[in-house]
Amino acid sequence: MEYLRSEGRAFLKNSEKAIALVGSRYVGFFTFAALHHYIPLHRLSDMQTFSPKKYINVYLGLGSNMGDRKGQLKKATELISKTIGKVAKKSHFYETQPWGNTEQDSFINQVLMVNTTLDPRDILKEITAIEREMGRARKDNEKWGPRLIDIDILLYGKRIIRDKGLEIPHPELHKRAFVLVPLMEIAPEYEHPVLKQQIDELFMECEDNSDVIMLDQM
């Protein structure tokens, strides 16, 4: 085994038994049994441990019925890509009827699939920060009211979470056509973790008959 004479740092790589010494010119791999002959034991504690990041696909529902509705969704998507993760898929824009309170303007909705390393609570914090940055102030009595921007966590991998202030899958997902239609466009065979049905199957059984109209521009 070649002794590495160059000064360098030691890094754990993929295994507790393999260590790469990275110097100015050489890279070598050693087992711990051989390594201790060349590096004092007290220096092993200074090594940086690497663990691969685990990416999860999170599905986010976006909606707006105030101002430049498409512009609001595009801006939200841009901020999501900067703070939450890479936007891997996105549906078309859909013009939809308001849910609950029909005495307001129609919405434009969209669903994104985002590759993220964040946990659900951190995603929720980032979503709240994005909405606040875009000018939305959440209020306790705003249910079903107009939205400058609205971002919901629909699905987070296969996780099931039922905590105060955070429910995943979204508890109303399977009841709302304005969510199911764009979600079905990008993930028709995705199985709902609780209901054990695919998204296209949930849409076929959905009793919401409100209009969901695909728009040309994504």
Instruction: Measure Cα distances from 106 to 66, 69, 153 in Å.
Output: 9, 10, 21
Choosing from 5, 43, 147, 163, the catalytic residue is 147
Phi-psi label, residue 217: left if phi above 0, alpha if psi -120 to 50, beta otherwise: beta
Instruction: Count the neighbouring beta carbons within 10 Å of the beta carbon of residue 79.
Output: 19
* Sign, CA torsion 172/177/180/183: negative
Choosing from 105, 121, 132, 136, the catalytic residue is 136
Q: 150 catalytic, yes or no?
A: yes
Check: CB of residue 84 under 8 Å from CB of residue 200. no
Choosing from 132, 152, 162, 208, the catalytic residue is 152
Distance CA 110, CA 218 (A): 9
Closest of 204, 216, 212, 197 to residue 61, by C-alpha: 212
Q: 147 catalytic, yes or no?
A: yes
Q: 136 catalytic, yes or no?
A: yes
Closest of 174, 167, 218 to residue 200, by C-alpha: 174
Choosing from 150, 162, 176, 216, the catalytic residue is 150
Instruction: Measure Cα distances from 207 to 4, 91, 93, 180, 203 in Å.
Output: 69, 22, 22, 12, 8
Active site residues: 136, 147, 150, 152
